[in-house]
Structure formats: structure tokens, C-alpha cells
Amino acid sequence: MVIEKIKESRFTPDVFDITTFGTAFADHMLLSWYKDGKWSEPIIKPYGKLDFTPAISVGHYGQGIFEGMKAYKGETGDVYLFRPDKNLERLNKSAERLDMPQIPEEIFMDGLKALIDLDRQWVPSTYGMSLYLRPVMFATEEAITARSSNEYLFAILTAVAPNYYNKPLSVKVADRYSRAANGGVGFAKAAGNYAGSFYPTHLAREEGYDQVIWTDDATHTFIEEAGTMNVFVRINDKLITAPTSERILDGVTRRSMIELAKAEGIDVEVRKVTVEEMHTAHKNGQLKEVFGVGTAVVVNNYVAVGYASERLELEDLPETESYGKILKKKLVDLQMGISEDPFGWRLKVEENLVEA
């Protein structure tokens, strides 16, 4: 691995006062280029611009995928990753679906740890904050031929991460637009999945909502995802979340929440849940919570769900009664090294991986 250090760090402590997500980038980035059927030796260099032409393949045919991860700093100053093997697994699953090359484990894992070690001062120690990590791969061949690219760039960017949402959200159930369809790329972290969601989200915001709860494309009957999150519905004391499928992203946070909930003795069901079931539970006073989970947001308890012409208001439960808030604290405590890690999810980033 080639290391090219920045001459003078751009870090200042006030960067941790930032309130916008994904705009304060750390000093370095990792790059590896795929050409002639192989990946180049990765290089870590100062974060900055790259040189492309308007003919770059990703701009025309959309071969772009990414992951969302975080680095956490514990009370002792140690820096941790959270289940990075699952992100690599999903990144390569996405790559396969979009006919892109696989990322070797040594480039991903060794590069990730070296990059974080080099910029560990950028990892905030404030509870709930983190350094967001964005592994991304996209087609770079200078060609506008409609085919898979022959050249790609794999990069890892890092940015200081305050709370993704600074308030509980209200969400609108989709009854026309769809995020994904059977046989499509809904399970992949494909860039186009997000582009296609922006317009329906814009319409929901015009109605006074923050995000969209996506439903199945065929009938708009079953709850699937919400914005950038997997969805959990709590009816009485039972927590329900949809099973993953061709249409639903297999979220690392979702998977972890299920295991944490079971460890806490919470009754969890992974099954299809209909919009009507949620609506009926609300009408009967049995709908206790609906919340979204994801790497960036962690957990966001919704204050309202829009269903047809109705707005289903949800009670803001105290922290000792809300499953979403209880599980969020359990997860963040584990990620930041405050609590024990009985699952083996936490990976410490050793110091001095990069020579001075």
C-alpha cells in the first residue's frame, strides 16, 4: 500500500461542531483502480478532486455502488469498526448484481484500517457521533458504449458524522411509486436506487412528511423500507420487521437490532407486515412504535405515519419504554466500547498501522 500523507492537516476541533451530515471530509482517502482485469495497489493520499471527462461510464449507465459504515472512538480513546465484514460481503454482492469486479478483502479491510488509523484524530469521542465511512465503486472507462465498463475506481472517503436527522421523522406510505421490483437491484447498495427515491420523497415533503415508507411494487400492501432505513413496527409488545428479499436491503443495523432485541428478551418476528395491519393496530391503540434503522441514522422513532388521507400520530414513549430508544442505546454503547460485546461485532483499529 502506498501512503502519501497530507502536508498539513486540515483538522480543527471545531469540526466536531458541524451539524450537516457528509460535508466535513477528513484529510485522506483511499483509491484503487481496476484495469486490464486486476486491481492496482491501493494508495492513501490527501482527499481531493479526481480527473474525469463527461464520457465517464458511470455517468451514462449507472454502474455505481457504495457502503455506509462508521468508526467510533471509545472513552479510552480506542477506535472501533462495527461488523466491517458484513459491509464487504454486501458490497461484493452489489458488485456482482451490477456486473462489476469483486473487491479483494485485503484492499478493503487493510485499506480501511490504515485510512482510519491515519485520520484517527477525526473520529469524535462525543457520545453518538462518529466518523462516517463511505466505500464506493464506480465505472470510470471513457466510453459511452452501452455495456459493462472495463475500468473502475474503488475509493473510501470519510466524513465527520453528527446525527443524520436532528428530529423524529414523519413518513408517508407509498401507494403509487416503488423503490424496487422483483428481479431488480433493490437488495444492492446501487446508486440508482437512491436517485429514483428522491422525487417521491419530494412529493411527500410537499404533504408535510419527511420520508417515504416503501411498499411492495405489485400491490402496495406490504411495508418494506423507509427512505434510507429498514423499518420496524411494534404492535403491543411484539416487534415486526419485513424479511429481506430481492427488493429489500439487508441492513447491517437491521440485522444487529434483531439480535440485540432477542438478547433483551423482546419478542421479534421477521415476517411480512401489511399497511392495513399497522393501520388497524393504530385504530385499536395497539400500535406502540414505528421506527427506522440504518448506519447513518442508527434509530429514528417516527412521530407520524401518513396512510392514504390519514395521518397516524404516534406517542413519544419515554426511553425506558420505547424499544427503539432502548435498542439504540444498547447498540451505540456497544459500538463505542462502553459496554461489553458478547457478539464479537466490534473491531479495534490498532494504532501506528501507518508509519510516521
Report which of 208, 86, 176 is spatially closest to residue 135, judged by C-alpha positions: 86
Please, what's the b/e burial string for 78-109 (b: 16 or more CB within 10 A of its CB; e: otherwise)? bbbbbbbebbbebbbebbebbebbebbeebbb
| Alpha-helical segments (H) within the chain | 58-61, 84-97, 105, 111-118, 191-206, 252-263, 275-283, 323-335
Secondary structure class of 234 (helix, strand, coil): strand
Cβ atoms of 236 and 288 within 8 Å: the answer is yes
CATH number of the domain enclosing 9: 3.30.470.10
Q: How do the residues of the chain divide into helix, strand and coil, expressed in percent and rounded to 5? A: 25, 30, 45
Give the torsion through C-alpha atoms of 194, 198, 204, 208, to 10 deg. 100
CA-angle at 103, arms to 99 and 105, nearest 5° = 150
Same domain, residue pair 77 and 226: no
Q: Write out the three cell numbers for 39.
A: 486491481
Same domain, residue pair 158 and 184: no
Q: How many CB atoms lie within 10 A of CB 15?
A: 16
In a domain, 349, yes or no: no
CATH number of the domain enclosing 312: 3.20.10.10
Where is the domain boundary, 162, 191, 208? Answer: 162
Q: How many CB atoms lie within 10 A of CB 2?
A: 10
Same domain, residue pair 236 and 275: yes
Same domain, residue pair 217 and 116: no
Same domain, residue pair 6 and 150: yes
How many H-runs (helices) and E-runs (strands) does the chain carry? 8, 20
In a domain, 97, yes or no: yes
Give the torsion through C-alpha atoms of 180, 186, 191, 194, to 10 deg. 50
For 93-115, the pLDDT digits (tens) are: 999 999 999 999 999 999 999 99
pLDDT of residue 163: 77
Name the average pLDDT for the chain.
95
Q: Write out the three cell numbers for 237.
A: 409488545
Report which of 179, 204, 202, 182 is spatially closest to residue 190, judged by C-alpha positions: 179
Same domain, residue pair 139 and 26: yes
* Residue 100 region by backbone torsions, left for phi larger than 0, else alpha for psi between -120 and 50, else beta: beta
Give the contacts of 322 (CB within 8 A, at least 6 positions apart).
Answer: 289, 301
Q: Which residue has the cell 491501493?
A: 42
Same domain, residue pair 234 and 286: yes
Per-position pLDDT tens, the chain of length 356? 999 999 999 999 999 998 888 899 999 999 999 999 999 999 999 999 999 999 999 999 999 999 999 999 988 899 999 999 999 999 999 999 999 999 999 999 999 999 999 999 999 999 989 999 999 999 999 999 999 999 999 999 999 988 777 788 999 999 999 999 999 999 999 999 999 999 999 999 999 999 999 999 999 999 999 988 999 999 999 999 999 999 999 999 999 999 999 999 999 999 999 999 999 999 999 999 999 999 989 999 999 999 999 999 999 999 999 999 999 999 999 999 999 999 999 999 998 877 65
Cβ atoms of 204 and 210 within 8 Å: the answer is yes
